[in-house]
Structure 1
């Protein structure tokens, strides 16, 4: 008799003065990303990669998490902890999970990667090919990964482990890796390789651009993921973004089927940053060049999206956009309020935020 697949589970009791409002905020947030059901003081959140249960009790919020494997469980625990701690920040509650995924264990969604090739795609875009083991899970489940850049070349990195609250526990050292989010431009599971395209931004707070510009064969980098959502099935697509979203748009286009139509609007610095994009789909492609204007200071992309005529014949549509935070907010509002696209018909992402760096660029951002 074949063994039944194992379910990975964990639970915790979090002391809170007012657990019900916190539960309600969690449910409201996760409605953007999954299915939420509420029954009085109990609720259930199905995120697609795992399930969370919440029960508001006197003086505490009981939370549970389950997933089909260690990675799925880790993602549910991480998501619950991150947002619970944000919504109850004044109380600074302690979260200690019991069950699978013990504190101190390696992050199940982490891989150590090494540089095997580099190439210049355009004057401001550099491709780095990374090699690692067991990359099958990175071929689906989201376009994005977090890359962890060691502070010093040649010094063995200390990677994060699983914390008691389900979040990564980082080393208390000056050598703590810098973390940035990137798109997997291409993946070859059989070879154990992925391509990451880096925009070569200038500035001190650009560890990814610095890594890409100086990358040597054998350099080590950490990787966690994948995440960031995926593209819905449709007959007609709107894909829009600036150069930071260009790797994602290029990958999406390569995966679209023949018979689909893709309206593509991409903002870049100048004509030299245009790339040859391949797709079996029928393309309506426009490049929007800033021609000297700093990134994040124009409304070219917003206006280009608004100028696109959305289908009115009832065919399935999907809109995807990735760009600077201000443009993201404007485009997302337009897609939701003017175009009246449902959550399943669009995905908007803030890839960066002018004047901010790292994950601070993505704060207060809902997809």
Structure 2
């Protein structure tokens, strides 16, 4: 895990609502990838200032690191958000991070507002990487990737990492056709885009409905599901209860929660979900 101060070198619009920020810095020399869907913590300074980063603990203990972050006085404490790494170019000490722009001026969130206004030379902080999911695929017959636009960077990286003999089904929710992205993968990929139209993100059922209607290929599946937490839970319940997918073959993460920010505490459902996953993982390790 690295603690680095990075600067923006390029800004590119992938779609009207998705902006790619290229970041570089000497700290990336020690960036060791963990998985295609790895995540990093990004730190955004307040009032246009460079973020005040927590001092890295000598033992690299993540709990200690987070305590140091919380110890920064509130007026100086940077906003912290979790993002996927879309591309990593170790020879150039660069990473790409894709940001969803939530409406005009980036919306209300500090990360999207920063991405909306970001330009070359702007400074951001990074801690990571960390695993997005605690489950990985074994040797399934095919893979299922499900998510909304917040999951697209990780899905894109996962597809690029597949082998030529693999088969993947992608079901992805976006606002409209302008937000669809081309996939690049050596595998055989069947992509199904669903549009929620004018319905606000997190308030549409189109993603869950599309998974329920989907015709699955034969054989054993490994499913990767991420996006809004309630939708992720609904998809997972359907896969287990209606499709008979083994829970051990589903990697799932609620990337965001409707009407709640990352700074907000865990809901009862969040806590129950985490406890259930920890029990399942403990059982798997003991098997």
> Does residue 131 of the first structure (1) align with residue 24 of the second (2)?
yes
**Which deviates further from its counterpart, 188-197 or 353-362?**
353-362
Q: CA deviation at 1:204?
A: 6.0
What is the TM-score when the length of structure 1 is the normalising length? 0.65
Match of 1:271 in 2: 177
C-alpha separation in 2, matches of 1:259 and 1:200: 35
> Does residue 188 of the first structure (1) align with residue 89 of the second (2)?
yes
Q: CA deviation at 1:157?
A: 3.2
Higher relative contact order (CA 8 A, sep 6+): 2
Instruction: Give the 3 Å change call, closer, same or farther, for CA 253–197 of structure 1 in structure 2.
Output: same
What is the TM-score when the length of structure 2 is the normalising length? 0.81
Query: Structure 1: where are the runs of 5+ without partners?
Result: 1-70, 72-108
Give the RMSD, CA atoms, in angstroms. Answer: 2.3
Instruction: Give the 3 Å change call, closer, same or farther, for CA 205–175 of structure 1 in structure 2.
Output: farther
Larger Rg: 1
Match of 1:281 in 2: 187
Q: How does 1:308-319 map to 2 (within 5 A)?
A: 308-313=214-219, 315=220, 317-319=221-223
> Does residue 327 of the first structure (1) align with residue 231 of the second (2)?
yes
Match of 2:64 among 155, 158, 166: 166
Match of 1:360 in 2: 264
Deviations 1:95-128 (A, max 9, x none): xxxxxxxxxxxxxx32211101101111111100
Match of 2:7 in 1: 114
Match of 2:43 in 1: 148
Instruction: Give the 3 Å change call, closer, same or farther, for CA 220–140 of structure 1 in structure 2.
Output: same
Q: How does 1:203-242 map to 2 (within 5 A)?
A: 205-227=108-130, 228-229=132-133, 231-233=136-138, 234-242=140-148
Q: CA deviation at 1:177?
A: 0.5
Q: CA deviation at 1:335?
A: 2.5
Deviations 1:215-255 (A, max 9, x none): 12111111112221364243301001111111111111111
Deviations 1:29-48 (A, max 9, x none): xxxxxxxxxxxxxxxxxxxx
Match of 1:351 in 2: 255
Match of 2:282 in 1: none
Q: CA deviation at 1:339?
A: 3.4
Match of 2:197 in 1: 291
Kept in 1, the 8 Å contact 2:39–2:83? The answer is: yes
Match of 1:198 in 2: 99
Alignment coverage as a number of residue pairs:
257
